[in-house]
Amino acid sequence: MLNDKIVLITGGTGSFGRKFVEHLLANYTPKKLIIFSRDELKQSEMASLFPKKEYSFLRFFIGDIRDKSRLYRALEDVDVLIHAAAMKQVDTCEYNPFEAIKTNVNGSANVIEAALDCNVETVINLSTDKAANPINLYGATKLCADKMFVAANKYRGKRRTRLAVVRYGNVVASRGSVIPLFFRQKETGVLTITDLAMTRFWISLEEAVRFVLSSMEIMSGGEIFVPKIPSMKIVDLARAIAPDCRLETVGIRPGEKLHEVMIARDDARYTIELDDRFVIFPTDISYDEERQRKADVLGGQCCGNDFEYSSEKNTQWLSVEQLGKIVSDSGY
């Protein structure tokens, strides 16, 4: 799928970007792989891991998705674009809303326009569970981006460009996740929990990369792909990391949900279920005919009107023991 292709990933020095690059280098032979990001230090550190003599097709491109002209330059002759650049910290976005909008909304618009004008074949936008029924600015900006990527398929004209969205939950050991925080707090003997009932979806970086690639294989443009992944209780994660520590409840932070949703009930009438994922189609499809046709093509079934995919109602759950193994395998 990616052999002999020119691939570019925005935000390529982030947690997902690094794992994505590692996976591609191990499993594919791209014609060129371009890391597009704005941090020269991270690019330098990443470049040191992949020597030029061995990876001559790897390119590092300094740029910001807020800069449309730079995107046009970077996307020349690109076949596949993975859009992973974003402001992602809920707290940071809450207190810097204008900056979050400039990056997550305006920057995403730049990515779409540049991808269309440069005739990029396949475009995947990485989203988040916080984009479903958002209550914080980060989720709201990601919902805007999702809507833009879906709608862009309507005005691509005769271009070969297809755009889709991948939405998943919390990533194990990603930068800014709760795991590093718990390990730092472990030394004090007290772990802070916002709410003892809190639940989250859970996915590893490797699983996220594989899900993006498998979604690329079946996309036709305009879909939002949601993986079937397990839920976990934050309190169970804390017990897995520090079973002997005291837990202190500190209250939910601004913009934080008690439970996460990846498919809201209002999206159910546009959603089909496959063996390993859900697919949300654009809201202009016919409920009875078009969605059923798409379900038949992909070998799935339509979801009921009252369906909702939320972390507290999930049928898959991780135990304390399973969480402990996942954390250990992630390098902590």
User: Which pLDDT tens digit goes with each residue over 85-121?
Assistant: 999 998 899 999 999 999 999 999 999 999 999 999 9
Higher pLDDT pick, 325 / 113 = 113
Higher pLDDT pick, 292 / 192 = 192
Strands (E), the chain: 6-10, 32-37, 58-62, 80-83, 122-128, 162-168, 170-171, 190-193, 199-203, 224-227, 231-233, 246-249, 261-263, 271-273, 277-280, 301-302, 309-310
Q: pLDDT band for position 252 (50/70/90)?
A: confident
Instruction: Name the 3-class secondary structure at 282.
Output: coil
**pLDDT in the model for residue 46:** 93
**pLDDT in the model for residue 329:** 77
Q: pLDDT band for position 297 (50/70/90)?
A: confident
- The single-letter code of the amino acid at 234 is I
Q: For 48-76, what is the mean pLDDT?
A: 94
- Report d(CA 192, CA 183) in Å as an integer: 11
Sorted by where each begins, the domain ranges of the chain are: 6-169+203-228
Q: Is 294 a catalytic residue?
A: no
Q: Mean pLDDT score of the chain, rounded to an integer? A: 92
- Among residues 257, 282, 253, 256, which one has the least CA distance to residue 269? 282
**pLDDT in the model for residue 332:** 67
Q: For 41-55, what is the mean pLDDT?
A: 92
Catalytic entry in 5, 130, 233, 257 = 130
Domain 6-169+203-228, CATH class in plain words: alpha beta
**pLDDT in the model for residue 79:** 98
Measured in whole angstroms, the distance separating CA 50 from the mean position of its chain's CA atoms is 24
- Report d(CA 309, CA 265) in Å as an integer: 8
Query: What are the structure tokens assigned to 61, written together?
Result: 């491109």
Q: pLDDT band for position 29 (50/70/90)?
A: very high
